[in-house]
Amino acid sequence: MSSSNKSLVSLAVLKARAGRQEALREALLALVEPTRAEPGNLDYVLFELRDERGTFYMREAFEDQAALDAHFTMPHFQRFAALAEDLLAAPLQLIFLEPVSN
């Protein structure tokens, strides 16, 4: 990762509503490629919790707050946001991380 101290690294935690796991997986996968193409995106990788299927983690890194803010306005993210209430058992949780090592 770049040595920039202002980059933002986060984990988004997304828990599917009962019966909506596959729909949530597809909606999250649809975010990956367009988000990686955004200016200012450094990392965007989707994971599923091995022991709790339907709980997803998106590892995200953006160059700065402005790049993250721009991400939230992108059409692909807005499409996801419009579906989120139907897909998620709880609101998206965004956990910001501070790098400790390289």
How many structural domains compose the chain? 1
pLDDT digits (tens, 9 = 90+) for 17-55: 999 999 999 999 999 999 999 999 999 999 999 999 999
pLDDT digits (tens, 9 = 90+) for 49-70: 999 999 999 999 999 999 999 9
- Please check whether residue 3 lies inside any domain of the structure: no
- Pair type for strands 8-15 and 41-48: unpaired
Task: Count other Cβ atoms within 10 Å, centred on residue 67.
Answer: 18
Return the CATH number at 74. 3.30.70.100
pTM: 0.90
Q: How confident is the model at residue 1 (pLDDT cuts 50, 70, 90)?
A: very low
User: What backbone torsions phi and psi does residue 59 show, to the nearest 5 degrees?
Assistant: -85, 125
Q: What is the mean pLDDT of the chain?
A: 94
